[in-house]
């Protein structure tokens, strides 16, 4: 397939490159925000990384050597556009990175998923900076080799493919190499732990979070509040992923111990 951005189904392209939703480690009840047991059934070796409270951005490297920039939900900018959607400052933060990247190194669509944080981005922005500093860190990368077929699918089918683990994500070594190649920082890696050693109760998980990551590792200046959002837990085989946020555990325990 000769790739031409102006000829493709942009809705399908947007959908196939979105990051899938991450479940909470303990199940979250959307009606009241409380957590309940049991946990996501993680197995084997689990990679634990810091979860940063910012806004998700995407740099989408296309087979023709061009790129797109998107937020979590929508496309914001195509290389060469005169105007860009200013939402959350994503394009302003990611365009300098995208401009220096080599985009035609793979016969695939490659998506770099990045967290833009600090400044006035997100409820916890003051935990990362006491001023207006903004930073970018990469948390994942996907390679989509079968893009030609996917672009011909109805949007509903593409969404189902994405939500049922259709995307191929780089493994830990590949992700490290990708970040190094493009001069990007990865979200902090805390440690690798066997899934059997993870806490299972809500109270134990709260205590574990407090000792695992007592303060953020990505503070941008001395004025930062330093409170971390939480962690992400990912199996080494990339089959399962979950997030554990301090605020969810604090809220649940406060309500259930009254």
Contact, 71 vs 60, CB < 8 A? no
Q: How many domains does the chain have?
A: 1
- pTM to 2 decimals? 0.94
**Residues whose CB falls within 8 Å of the CB of residue 247, separated by 6 or more in sequence, listed in order:** 229, 230
Comparing C-alpha atoms, which of 237, 131, 101, 128 is closest to residue 188? 128
What confidence score (pLDDT) does residue 1 get? 57
Backbone angles phi, psi at 192, to 5 degrees: -115, 135
| Parallel/antiparallel/unpaired status of strands 55-61 and 109-118 | antiparallel
**Can you read off the two tokens belonging to residue 26?**
């303990």
106-145 pLDDT, tens per residue?
Answer: 688 999 999 999 999 989 999 999 999 999 999 999 999 9
Residue 226 DSSP SS3: coil
Q: What is the DSSP string of 168-211?
A: EE--HHHHHHHHHHHT-PBPPEEEEEEGGGS--SHHHHHHHHHH
pLDDT value of residue 105 = 60
Q: What CATH number is given to the structural domain containing 186?
A: 3.30.470.30
- Per DSSP, the three-state class of 153 is coil
- Please report where in the chains the tokens 């992923």 appear, as a residue: 241
> In sequence order, what are the residues at sequence separation of 6 or more whose Cβ sits closer than 8 angstroms to the Cβ of residue 178?
112, 138, 141, 170, 184
pLDDT at site 200: 96
- DSSP class per residue in 228-258: --EEEEEETTSS-EEEEEHHHHHHHHHHHT-
Give the angle subtended at the CA of 227 by the CAs of 127 and 115, to the nearest 5°: 60
Per-residue model confidence (pLDDT) at position 219: 97
Q: What is the pLDDT, as a whole number, of residue 6?
A: 81
- Nearest of 242, 105, 237 to residue 171 by alpha carbon: 237
Instruction: Please state, in angstroms and rounded to a whole number, the distance separating the CA atoms of residues 35 and 20.
Output: 21
pLDDT in tens, 24-67: 999 999 989 999 999 999 999 999 999 999 999 999 999 988 99
Q: Which domain holds residue 66?
A: 5-256
- pLDDT tens-digit map of 179-195: 999 999 999 999 999 99
Residue-wise pLDDT for 228-249, tens only, equals: 999 999 998 888 999 999 999 9
Q: Are the beta carbons of 87 and 103 closer than 8 angstroms?
A: no
139/112 Cα distance (integer angstroms): 8
Size of the chain, expressed as the number of residues it contains: 258
């Amino acid at each position: 397939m000769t790739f031409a951005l102006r000829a493709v189904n942009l809705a399908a392209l947007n959908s196939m490159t979105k990051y899938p939703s991450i479940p909470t480690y303990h199940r979250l009840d959307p009606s009241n925000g409380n957590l309940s047991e049991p946990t996501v059934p993680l197995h084997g070796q689990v990679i634990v990384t810091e979860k940063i409270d910012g806004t998700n951005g995407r740099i989408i490297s296309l087979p023709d050597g061009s790129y797109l920039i998107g937020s979590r939900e929508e496309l914001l900018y195509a290389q060469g556009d005169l105007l860009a959607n200013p939402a959350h400052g994503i394009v302003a933060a990611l365009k300098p990175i995208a401009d220096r990247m080599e985009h035609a190194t793979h016969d695939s669509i490659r998506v770099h998923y990045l967290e833009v944080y600090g400044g006035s981005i997100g409820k916890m922005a003051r935990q990362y900076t006491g001023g207006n500093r903004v930073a970018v860190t990469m948390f994942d990368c996907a390679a989509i080799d079968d893009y030609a077929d996917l672009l011909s699918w109805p949007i509903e089918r593409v969404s189902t493919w994405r939500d049922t683990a259709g995307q191929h994500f780089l493994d830990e070594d590949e992700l490290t190499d990708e970040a190094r190649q493009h001069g990007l920082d990865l979200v902090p890696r805390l440690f690798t732990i066997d899934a059997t050693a993870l806490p299972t109760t809500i109270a134990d998980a709260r205590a574990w979070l407090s000792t695992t990551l007592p303060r953020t590792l990505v503070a941008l200046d001395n004025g930062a509040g330093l409170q971390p959002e939480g962690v992400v837990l990912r199996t080494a085989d990339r089959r399962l992923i979950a997030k554990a946020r301090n605020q969810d555990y604090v809220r649940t325990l406060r309500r259930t111990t009254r």
